[in-house]
Amino acid sequence: MATELKLPPGRRLAVLGAPVSHSKSPALHRAAYRQLGLDWEYTAQDVAPGELGAFLGTLGPDWLGLSLTMPFKHEALPLLTERDRVAQVTGAANTLLLSEPGADGTRTVAGFNTDVVGIVRALADAGITAVSSVAVLGAGATAASAVMAAAELGAESVELIARTPAKAAPLVELGRSLGLVVVVSDLATVPDASRAVGLVVSTLPGGTRLDVEFPAALRQHATLLDVAYAPWPSALGASWQEAGGTALSGLGMLLHQALIQVRIFVSGDPFAPLPDEPAVLASMRAALAAGPSDAVGG
């Protein structure tokens, strides 16, 4: 039975990406709003990189919020009127909440990062609530969220493995600011140091094929969370499974970050549970399982 909320009708929301037409986010959000008794519209919008600001300028007063995939998680930061602590710390926002237009037509844009809690909750679903050392593959916005998630899970150290190690410099600064010991490695020469980690989080784009193979010992004892989720298993996930290890797709992260986005769009507060939230989450899980998709992230 849907939980009725007394909120403004006819609100519009969307996930933005380039491309994004195959995203699972519309199915997730529509299921949530249907369960909540809201007639809100949630669509997928293709926006060219560098055009986020211009797109925001075209939105009418019925627009409430946006979910962002790459490359907009960094691009959004200068456009924000305010941001939550996680977006501030990571330098990445994946959720925008638009205020009602003022008398002069202007509106504030609040930015949030729900990827960190998405990672933490997805790992909790798999029984992982604490780690001591984590390896993060990639050096983009989602990698920053993975570093912060590692800190929240109690990690003491993080190994950043990137195709271009120089691009990991901001993540080194982020990790150290969170009290982590940070090591940077080149993805082209997977180091022996990675054997010691208990969790590997890959934020590499879906479809990425690596020219190197991670040590069998690592794949056997360390859990892999790959933010890619379709097709699954990814090449990296398959290599983990072939070694007898545990590989988690990004669907759990996608689900949980979307739930927090729904909280934000409904109440403006990522910490305020939704009415009958377990039922909302169950509806979102069912929507995730129902439809095929070739999407990766978002």
Residues with active-site annotation: 73
Structure tokens at 248: 């988690």
CA distances from 97 to 68, 135, 141, 263 (A): 11, 32, 19, 11
Of all helices (H) and strands (E), which one includes residue 245? none
Phi, psi dihedral angles at 238 (to 5 degrees): -65, -40
Q: Where are the beta strands (DSSP E) in the chain?
A: 12-17, 41-46, 63-68, 82-83, 95-98, 109-112, 133-137, 157-162, 181-186, 199-202, 223-226, 247-248
Give buried/exposed letters for 92-106 (b at 16+ CB in 10 A, else e): bbbbbbbeeeeeeee
Structure tokens at 289: 């399982």
Phi, psi dihedral angles at 248 (to 5 degrees): -110, 135
Task: Report the chain's terminal Cα–Cα distance, integer Å.
Answer: 28
Find the angle CA(153)-CA(159)-CA(161) to the nearest 5 degrees.
125
Find the angle CA(164)-CA(166)-CA(168) to the nearest 5 degrees.
85
Which residues on neighbouring strands pair with residue 137, listed in sequence order? 161, 202
